Structure 1
Amino acid sequence: MFNKTKKIAQGLYFKTSVIGVLFCLLLTPLNILQAQTNQELREQIYDLSSIKSVLTDEVATFDAQITALQRQLAQTEAELASLIAKIEETNQQIRKAEDELTKQKGILDENLRILYEEGQTSSIEVVAGSDNFSEFMNKTEYLKSIQDEVSESIDKIKQLKVELDTKKKELEIKKTEQVTLKNQQVTQKAGLDQQRSAKNASLSQVTTDEKKLREELAKRMSAGYAYCKGGGAVIHAKNPIFKFPLDCGYISQGWGKTDFSPFYRAGYHNGVDVAQVAPGTAIMAIGPGTVYSSGSSPSDGWGNWIVVKHDSGYYSLYAHMIAPTHLSPGDKVNTSDVVGGIGGSPNWPIHLHFTLYTSNPGTGIPPWGGTIDPLDYMDIPISTGGTDWDPDYAH
């Protein structure tokens, strides 16, 4: 068992060392300050995201190893308690055997005394003191048989005590081994706890730095581009069957392959992002329909979101809302009805993520998931400049 527990903290050594070097190189203040271009910032964000993923996995692995070691430690403590109980039971048996040995020796001594005394008396005197010769013989034989039985009992007790003493020594050896094993497991757990704490600290630092870089990128991309309706020429869509969900902001990222899409899991952006909007700005339904679903995702996901099933058969998703929607599944909505307010998430700046589906979200053919470019189906009343999305975008 010791070999098993000895190896439990070694599985991540190489992986941890490599990622640790990358982590140290990436997070030096010089590297962060020297990220002059947006692309460099994106690359650092991607690297931090990768490191964060590795650190998260390592923390989970440490958690699993600590849990396994805790089970082993509990088993060791249970076995140690059992050995201690067995040693105490053996000690009681030894004391009982010693008491019985003392008792039997007393009986033997008394019989020997009687035989000795009678041995000092002549046979004529013993016979004379007995009612008959038969009584004399019976008495002598009785004393002799008692002596033999007691001697045999003493021999058995002595043998039992030898066996009990041997058993006790074996138990004491096992106890020493279990105590040693327990101390080793306690030491290993302390080491794992320390490593997990260090990984958690690194994970927290990476998360903080990633958020700062995302905010810096958003700040650079947003600088000088606060547009509202009427601030620029309207771009007309090919099939304008919906109304744009906001009157203010700018399109910070389009649908499909963008500069930032390689950093997404699927390799593409499944919707449109609208940034440079004040928190709480009204999000409007793009067309008539029924609330299909709503909810909240983890901080790295959609945050608060709502899906509307439109009368035309399309589904629209509005994500990163400032709070859960006031609407419930089944509620009817019309074009420009407010469905929520602009928000964000702990790891993303304030913006609206908007996706248009041709079918029930999640049922489309991978990797696109049934999404389409929303800007093919609605006029664009806001600016498209100053972003990583193609400024010459036209339908």
Structure 2
Amino acid sequence: MEKSLIKTFVSLICAVILFSPAYFGNASLIDDLKKQITQKEQELKILEEKSKQYKNTVTQSQKEQKNLKNNIVDLNTQIGYLATQIEITQNQLDQTMLFIEKLKAEITKQEESLQIKKIYISSAIQTINEYDEASLLELLLKNNTFSNFLNQTEYMKSLESEIQNNVDALQLLKSRLEEKHFIQKNKEKDLEELNSDLSSKKIITNQQKNKKESLLQETKNQEKKYSSLLSEIQKKRDGIQKEIYELEEKLKYTIDPSKIPAPRRGLFNWPANGTISQKWGSTSETGFINDSYKFHNGVDIAALIGTPIYAPADGKVIAIGDNGQYAYGKWIAIDHQNGLITLYGHLSLQLVSLGAPIKNGQKIGYMGSTGFSTGSHLHFTVYAENTFQTTNRWFGLLPLGGSINPFNYLPN
């Protein structure tokens, strides 16, 4: 009987030894991946500090007088900032890939631990079965002394307790394994999002480079030509804004209060992070007094170019357009099917298409300074659905409607 027990556990030890090389090999791989992740985290801190410096420079350059020289400096700074953002996104992407690789190694390690536990439990059960199959008289006769018999009996009790402990550990390992599989799926989603973000930022960077080259070609790097070009564009912008103001003043009177939600803060989430640079209402009250328009039909949220824009609620893309250097530049309109339509203007990049269903919190584009804009920001308008319309103009499709104060529906 004792020889049989020894034989069983020799088999168990051999099985564990067979699994050990791969097990410890995985441990070494995990340690190496942890070191690489730590290195990437340190690199990210340096890049984020570099990004902060660019943010300060971009903010300052946008306050400077708008002449050709300052405009080129501003574009160069934006390009530098975006290049840093690309590096940051690439770093985050690398970190996520390393994290997934580490997770896979940890999963393999835990699967091997599970297998070892299973072998141990199986061998221990086999030993107990052999013990149980022997009669009490057989056990007494096989042991030289009564003391040996008692020791063997106590050992079997200890082994049964050890089996229970290992079964509990097995359940815990399975639970942790399921958790790691769940984390892996989420990280793979993050990886997909980072890849998309990286591609978008590269597109925006190229747009800024092309804008700079186009500006230099049109002006031949001469301040006088730039001033003349800017004056011509501004006259057209002023005319367009006055037309929008006049048309929307009439549309405001067609708003049907029974067809829109009652004011409720939090009906919409904030569509972007940033600073409120202008509120909805008369320009005499919003603080942005100008000759182009007397009423500001939305809220402006200022932040750096490339800042993500998110849908504040579920809906459907009802219209999308590009006004070039005029009006709203690149814009998106979403029908929330609750009597309200929201507009997102001055985007650097649109990520959605006409007719696309939209989920609350979905990224729909990136902040920019397209259209009639003095700096990177999001122009966010809330229209009554029954007043919304689009009309073709020489500069592109123009959205119009009776606007409502966005703060009626945005969070406090």
TM-score under structure 1 length normalisation: 0.36
Larger radius of gyration: 1
Higher helix share: 2
TM-score under structure 2 length normalisation: 0.35
